Structure 1
């Protein structure tokens, strides 16, 4: 979910709101090398998703224009959530994990329980989505507990009074760059994210986030966030870093430059795009997608919006190669197909074989020509380093898995 920077939702409120949103005390000091992890839960939507590619494209279009795109829980085939405590004593809320947005908010399901640590800032928050809907409500500061090692004092948190599309969830944990909060809360320029405050309050030694996903169809369909660094036990080899791209609008997010090849054939020359846990598929510019479709022989399936291939075509699939900062990451044929055990979750047929590379709907050269979503991130560990303005990747034991 990408927060809107529109000023139309802003109201005039007392200046003290500005002070209430800043990071404060150092309640849980740790060493400079400290890290702490938060386990994630995976949810599979088995209600029958309608055109998964169209959902991701809507998010992509909104993102290109610098707006926000909803992650409608009813339209997400695979989502990761974390149980996050708010208040003292804490009430726990199930929040969607999103590196594509930065506001943290609750109120979609479980009501906000105020405690002695709750403070109404007098501000209002509003995030407008790509489908025209919005989440809005009051902005509070409160104690936020991710786990016993990750406790944040005076975290800015929205309490939604309207929150369409988040059925079955309580809100969102925003893990994107802080700049994405600009214009979303009244009377402040931007608000510190949970990662900002963990660092500022001395809980973690560096403003770094490691993200691990396992394929949904594997025997370990789980995830983990590591704040302050990365979990070396989850990777094979080294973390390879690249700077945040300088190309707009990708530069506003966790944006990188990469090229893509199918076998030895170029699909997309080096260009800018983003890494995003809130997108399910791998989206690429229309001209690159046309080359990919031609190379694989896939036909567009109207029900899912994905390319569908035969068993014989699957046997002939080549690997897809992502070159990022001079390092090439191989997405094997098995990594290019939707988990067949989850076909019903996207409205597909039981025996269908669907490719997870989809058309972004725009031609290359837009400044945001691809999104490496969940289907990429389940094969590669990712690191988001605010301190050094860079993104890193590493292989995992699932990089060459055949679980799909």
Structure 2
């Protein structure tokens, strides 16, 4: 069992704002403002968990290594994508100059390919080449893992990002260039005792966030896990029954599809439904986000997501993000890229311990222990 711990710092949005770049960035990327994108045991640590860093409730990331000897990188552990990529010495973009870069020449186990990789994110993009090498996540060592070596990382988002790359944990069908995801190799090489991983995202900064490969830590949640079938094996996609506010349906009244995504910071949905929610919580659009009166945190009721017959309330203290005593913003945002899908990002996941079960194609959810 191995757990990767996650830590906490300032958000990319805040950094862009401090540098006077946020408005220009939002004009160029008019969607996903808090997100990243859409499109017999052989190991003694058969269940392993990795610490992750909470980047001011925007991104969660931890450390992996690639190559022999190991070269370390910080990556987002992202259930909304399937590729692993890191910056490389072949990259001349400004974003690469400010991050760790993988050098194939310094790894005795690297194997090159002629395949290319191109991924477009709602808040950035990368192009590069694919190669194979040893990837270590905590104490789990994956041999001959295919991964991307970035050659370009244009734009400001990845330049200011506190992480180097991304480790995707969704289904193989979502993987660009047909690259086998890291967790699929963990499963096929019998490196985990169970074909699942679980995630705890600290809601208060008091306890360390983590992702656990091959196991579940029941001390981090209350009650029992409720299991939700995966409806489409692409993203970690599920069916939501309804979204209610004071018992009144304010969105998804006839049911809808949602992605459970550790790589998305906010709660995203179709523009019309999000506009309705902003209206209910008093959100006023300003400079790329919806501003909410901070007093509303103590007055507004929970917004309840009913999933597979079980209610999952999200309190106002979670869906309203407080940056100062007088500056608060809505945690809901428009999703234009997949206008028919909702995304249950970190705002939701901080409330619920989550288990991503590949063996049974289901997601387990339980309230985090307070």
TM-score of the aligned structures, taking structure 2 as reference length: 0.80
Structure-1 residue corresponding to 2:239: 257
Structure with bigger strand share is 2
116-125 vs 283-292, which moves further: 283-292
Spell out, residue by residue over 1:291-321, the C-alpha distance to the aligned partner (whole angstroms, 9 max, x if none): 323433x13131351241252x444311111
1:173 pairs with 2:167: yes
User: Where do 1:239-250 residues align within 5 Å?
Assistant: 239-246=225-232
1:209 pairs with 2:194: no
Q: 2:152 aligns with which of 159, 162, 167?
A: 162
Structure-1 residue corresponding to 2:206: 219
| CA distance in 1 between partners of 2:35 and 2:354 (Å) | 24
Structure-2 residue corresponding to 1:80: 60
CA spacing shift, 1:56–1:151, aligned 2, 3 Å: farther
| CA distance in 1 between partners of 2:218 and 2:26 (Å) | 33
1:288 pairs with 2:273: yes
CA contact (8 A) 1:235 1:397 kept: yes
> Shift of residue 53 of structure 1?
8.6
CA spacing shift, 1:226–1:53, aligned 2, 3 Å: farther
1:115 pairs with 2:107: yes
Q: What SS does structure 1 have at the residue aligned with 2:6?
A: strand
CA contact (8 A) 1:60 1:360 kept: no
Query: Which segments of 5 or more consecutive residues in structure 1 lack a partner in the other structure?
Result: 1-34, 69-74, 344-349, 399-404
CA spacing shift, 1:169–1:218, aligned 2, 3 Å: closer
Structure-2 residue corresponding to 1:238: 224
CA contact (8 A) 1:56 1:281 kept: no
Q: What SS does structure 2 have at the residue aligned with 1:292?
A: helix
Aligned-CA RMSD value? 2.8
CA contact (8 A) 1:285 1:362 kept: no
| CA distance in 2 between partners of 1:214 and 1:372 (Å) | 16
Structure-2 residue corresponding to 1:325: 308
> Shift of residue 213 of structure 1?
0.4
CA contact (8 A) 2:355 2:364 kept: yes
Q: What SS does structure 2 have at the residue aligned with 1:375?
A: helix
| CA distance in 2 between partners of 1:142 and 1:322 (Å) | 41
Structure-2 residue corresponding to 1:23: none
Q: 1:146 aligns with which of 137, 143, 152?
A: 137
CA contact (8 A) 1:212 1:225 kept: yes
| CA distance in 1 between partners of 2:33 and 2:326 (Å) | 29
Q: What SS does structure 2 have at the residue aligned with 1:289?
A: helix
| CA distance in 2 between partners of 1:322 and 1:352 (Å) | 26
| CA distance in 2 between partners of 1:392 and 1:257 (Å) | 13
TM-score of the aligned structures, taking structure 1 as reference length: 0.73
Structure-1 residue corresponding to 2:329: 354
Aligned length: 328
